[in-house]
Amino acid sequence: MPAQPALPRDASTVVLIRDGADGVEVFLQRRVNTMAFAGGMTVFPGGGVDARDAEAHFSWTGPGAAWWARTLGATEPIAQSLVCAAVRETFEECGVLFATDADGRFPEPGTLADERAQLVDKSLSLAGFLADRGLTLRADLIAPLAHWIAPVIEKRRYDTRFFVAALPEGQHADGETSEVSVAGWLSARQALARWVDRQHFLLPPTWSQLREIARYDTVADLLGEPREITTVMPEATTPMMSGLRFPNSDEYFVELDGRLPSDAKR
């Protein structure tokens, strides 16, 4: 365990959902093995907050920063940054944009490739992109889901708010990002079954959100459920992953058993 724990960086993760034959489906990405954080893991789109995500000079529809601050347990500037990061990261990583024009229409697919690339290389801010295109950020299309802070044993720590959002009609989620090797849709139940079958690796926060989503048969049921956000920061009882304790961690490690090196097992 580090003598001085690293300060966690604010981050946003978006669980993109749609209806499917086997309950609610989620869009998942397997990060390339070379990524410094969660390399090789199957995750939802997301990433760290950019300092420019706090810029306020653009149109916004839906709950304002004050509502998000109360809901997320954050200051208004941080709450706005988290919502903006959620919108920006979803667009960067899978091409889905929660923003509409003055008539409430989503941009035509494929017309924003240049702006997407500029957001990725940070030559363009989200606020600048939305303002230049006359687009309104649709905070009413995303909802809070969970809040996890990485344990103190991690060298690279994130303070992550999880959001959930239905795939907007007419939009397509892709895997066109250098950070991802495989991307696609699975029902939450299928994703959990593949984890048990060792077809992919899920970190505890991803596993926990999939378990929650697997409870629902439809997107409407999931989004209609009142939800109180509580903070989860796994407790580290040992310096190994198997020493983490979090809600339902015993079940997680039963499923994980057999994947870790013998000296890392409980």
Of 178, 135, 165, 209, which Cα lies nearest the Cα of 17? 165
Look at residue 119 and tell me if it is in a domain: yes
pLDDT tens for 72-111 read: 999 999 999 999 999 999 999 999 999 999 999 999 878 9
Q: Cα 100 to chain center, whole Å? A: 21
Do 248 and 203 belong to one domain? no
Do 183 and 241 belong to one domain? no
Task: Tell me which residue range forms the domain holding 245.
Answer: 234-266
Look at residue 1 and tell me if it is in a domain: no
Band of residue 182 on the pLDDT scale cut at 50, 70, 90: confident
Look at residue 70 and tell me if it is in a domain: yes
Q: Put residue 110 in one of left, alpha, beta given phi > 0 → left and psi -120 to 50 → alpha.
A: left
Do 34 and 128 belong to one domain? yes
Of 95, 185, 102, 92, which Cα lies nearest the Cα of 138? 102
Beta carbons of 243 and 263 less than 8 angstroms apart: no
Rounded to whole angstroms, the Cα distance separating 210 from 86 reads 18
148 or 6: whose pLDDT is higher? 148
Q: What is the pLDDT of the chain when averaged over all its residues?
A: 89
Band of residue 34 on the pLDDT scale cut at 50, 70, 90: low
Residue 166 DSSP SS3: strand
Rounded to whole angstroms, the Cα distance separating 75 from 53 reads 14
Do 145 and 245 belong to one domain? no
Look at residue 56 and tell me if it is in a domain: yes
- Give the model's pLDDT for residue 135: 96
Do 218 and 242 belong to one domain? no
Look at residue 3 and tell me if it is in a domain: no
Do 88 and 203 belong to one domain? yes
Q: Cα 40 to chain center, whole Å? A: 16
Look at residue 180 and tell me if it is in a domain: yes
Look at residue 4 and tell me if it is in a domain: no
Report residue 131: phi and psi, to 5°. Answer: -65, -45
Do 61 and 172 belong to one domain? yes
Do 256 and 137 belong to one domain? no
Do 221 and 247 belong to one domain? no
Report residue 138: phi and psi, to 5°. Answer: -105, 80
Helices 188-196 and 204-213, packing angle to 10 deg: 130
CATH code, domain carrying 97: 3.90.79.10
pLDDT tens for 215-265 read: 999 999 999 999 999 999 999 887 777 788 999 999 998 888 754 433 333
Beta carbons of 205 and 211 less than 8 angstroms apart: no
Do 61 and 152 belong to one domain? yes
Do 61 and 163 belong to one domain? yes
Which residues fall within 8 angstroms of residue 193, CB to CB, at 6 or more apart? none
**Count of domains forming the chain:** 2
Look at residue 2 and tell me if it is in a domain: no
pLDDT tens for 51-76 read: 899 887 889 999 999 999 999 999 99
Do 142 and 256 belong to one domain? no
Alpha helices for 144-262 (secondary structure H): 188-196, 204-213, 219-223, 249-256
